[in-house]
Amino acid sequence: MKEKIREYAMTLGADVVGFAAAADYSSKKAPDLKKILPTVQSLIVLGYRELDGSLESPNLRTGMTARLGVMDLIKKNNYLLARFIEDNFHAKTAPVAPSYPLDMAPPVFGLTGDVSLRHAAVAAGLGVFGRHNLVINPKYGTRIVFSAFLTELPLKSDQPIMEELCDNCNLCVESCPAKALAEEGKTDAMKCLRVSQPNGIGGAMSFLNKFISASEEDKKKLLFDPKFFSLYQAMFMGFEYHCFRCMTVCPVGRT
C-alpha cells in the first residue's frame, strides 16, 4: 500500500515521500489531528526540492516565481493524491494546507498551521531539525518544501533519521537579516515576517494606518507610492517571500 502511494506521488513530481503513524507525530503548538480528521491514523508527507538558481538569485522576483510554482504544484497534487487514496483504498484522506488558508483568529493570528509540516516531515523520516529550526533532508538539505495528508489508512512510520545533519556552523543565525534566530530552538516569527513578507498583512496594516491619517493631498501621493503598488500586486499574487537566506546559506545538501 505504501509503495503504491509513494510511486504515484513520485509520478506527480514529489522528490521524497514519507509515512508516519499519527501517534508518532507531535507538535506543541499545532492542534490535535483528530480535530481535522476524527478518524485519522496516519500522515503522508511529500517533499519538493527548491530550485538552486532561483533561491540564490539576487532578483527577488526570480526566487518568488519558483516558490509560487512549487506551491501551485503542491495544491494540485494534494487533491490528486488524496483522490487517488480515496478511490483506490476507500479511506478518507484530507490534504493539509501548505500555506494559506490559515487560522487568522486569536490566539493564533495566522502564525500556527493546523498541522506542523516540519514535525510531520521529521516523524515521517524525511529529515531532522537544524539550528535554523527548519528540516534538513539528507539529500536536499534545507532546500525543500513539504506538504502532508491525514488519512484513515493504518500506516507504520518510516524509519526516522538518526544522523545529526546540522553541523552547527551558525551561518543561518549570522546571516539572518531579521536576527530572528538569536535564541536557539526558537524562531521569532514577527521579526522574520517583517523581512520575509514585507507586503503581508503587517505591511498592509502599516500602510493603511498611514493612509488614513494622511491629508487629502498626501493620500493622492501615497496612491502613487511604490509601496502601494507592491501591496496591490501581493494581494492577487499570493504568498510572497522576500528572503530565503536561512535556506541558501545552509551547507547541507548544496550542489
What does each of the 255 residues of the chain score in pLDDT, given as a tens digit?
999 999 999 999 999 999 999 999 999 887 899 999 999 999 999 999 999 999 999 998 898 899 999 999 999 999 999 999 999 999 999 999 888 788 888 888 888 889 999 999 999 999 999 999 999 999 999 999 999 999 999 999 999 999 999 999 999 999 999 999 999 999 999 999 999 999 988 899 999 999 999 999 999 999 999 999 999 998 888 778 899 999 999 999 875
Pair (184, 72) in one structural domain: no
Pair (61, 143) in one structural domain: yes
Pair (14, 123) in one structural domain: yes
Pair (53, 74) in one structural domain: yes
Do 67 and 138 contact (CB within 8 A), yes or no? Answer: no
Pair (101, 210) in one structural domain: no
Whether 247 maps to a domain, the answer reads no
Whether 59 maps to a domain, the answer reads yes
Do 227 and 207 contact (CB within 8 A), yes or no? Answer: yes
The boundaries of the domain holding residue 194 are: 171-237
Pair (148, 161) in one structural domain: yes
Pair (7, 51) in one structural domain: yes
Pair (81, 180) in one structural domain: no
Do 153 and 21 contact (CB within 8 A), yes or no? Answer: no
**How many domains would you assign to the chain?**
2
Give φ, ψ of 139 to 5 degrees. -95, -45
Boundary residue ending a domain (167, 194, 210):
167
The alpha carbon of 182 is separated from its chain's Cα centroid by a whole number of angstroms, namely 21
Whether 124 maps to a domain, the answer reads yes
DSSP 138: T
DSSP 15: S
DSSP assignment of 162-230 equals -S-------HHHHH-TT-TT-STT---HHHHHHHH-TTSHHHHHHHHHHHHHS-HHHHHHHTTSHHHHH
Whether 246 maps to a domain, the answer reads no
Alpha-helical segments (H) within the chain: 2-12, 52-56, 60-89, 117-123, 171-175, 189-196, 201-213, 216-222, 226-237, 245-249
Residue 5's Cβ-count burial label (10 Å; 0-12, 13-18, 19+) is buried
Pair (20, 141) in one structural domain: yes
Pair (130, 176) in one structural domain: no
Whether 242 maps to a domain, the answer reads no
Boundary residue ending a domain (138, 167, 196):
167
Pair (223, 162) in one structural domain: no
Q: Which residues contact 121 (CB under 8 A, 6 or more apart)?
A: 18, 45, 47, 127, 135, 137, 146, 148
DSSP 104: -
Say what the pLDDT of residue 255 is: 57
Residues pairing with 150 in the sheet: 43, 94
Whether 109 maps to a domain, the answer reads yes
Question: Using CA atoms, how far apart are residues 151 and 25, in angstroms rounded to an integer?
Answer: 13
Pair (184, 153) in one structural domain: no
Boundary residue ending a domain (121, 137, 167):
167
